[in-house]
Amino acid sequence: MTFTLVYLAVIVLLPLGSLFWEASSLGLGEIWRLATDARTLAALRLSFLTSFAAALFNLPFGLLVAWVLVRYDFPGRRVLDAVIDLPFALPTAVAGIALTALYSPHGWVGALFAALGIKIAFTPIGVFVALVFVGMPFIVRTVEPVLAEVDLEVEEAAATLGAGRFRAIRTVVLPVLAPALLTGFALSFARAVGEYGSVIFIAGNIPYVTEIAPLLIVIKLEEFNYAGATAVAAIMLGLSFATLLAINFIQYRTRRRFGHV
């Protein structure tokens, strides 16, 4: 216990504490001014709302991919399983360049949508696409081992009692997977909020439109405005912690509810 507490204090609490200490040098008035600045609010809104939407989008599709990998055996399964981990292995800048080339108005996919009058790259949609890309593996890898432990005989028993396929999944499988899905959602959301490299290329970085909060922090650092950068970072950290705390509370309630079933 002592080693764990010391380790967490040095590795986690000390850097976070120094961040808030540096931000506090500005005073509450200046921090509030930065927090309510239109550019800061726009960047925070884009980062958090798009990250939440991307994590929410990844939930059903991540579950579907995990289901296919666990329940089905088909040619190329190992290749598909390895592809899921590509966002972990790729440098984020490489992922950003690849996504931009693919979804730009002249890219393979972007050109198809451009013909319909839909622009993906250099818009908030492009930010969403990048965050979906980096967040998908967290859902799949969190759900996959739990799904593998679900006994098929439980679903078969539900079928013998008259439950259809989708009802068996909804009433038997999903309650077991709910805590894992929430954990994967939290991990996907946390990764998306702090993502930088894969977003800045496809976003276009237009202030008030496609400028994410991590980029705003970097811009303030380049302007040697270290106090302002730490203030924005502290605001972002506080919002992230509050969001993850709410998700963890929901996960705790879900575990208790499932435990009482």
CB 182 within 8 A of CB 254: yes
pLDDT at 260 over 50: no
Tell me what the pLDDT averaged over the chain comes to: 86
Could you tell me the pTM of the whole model?
0.86
Instruction: List pLDDT tens digits, range 173-214.
Output: 788 888 899 999 999 999 999 899 889 999 988 999 999 999
Note the pLDDT of residue 246: 86
**Cβ distance 151 to 168 under 8 Å?**
no
Asked whether residue 71 carries a pLDDT value surpassing 70, the answer given is yes
Look at 52 and 1; give whichever has higher pLDDT. Answer: 52
> In the chain, what percentage of residues exceed pLDDT 90?
40
What local confidence, expressed as pLDDT, does residue 261 receive? 42
Of the ranges 97-101, 157-161, 225-229, 255-259, which is most confident?
97-101
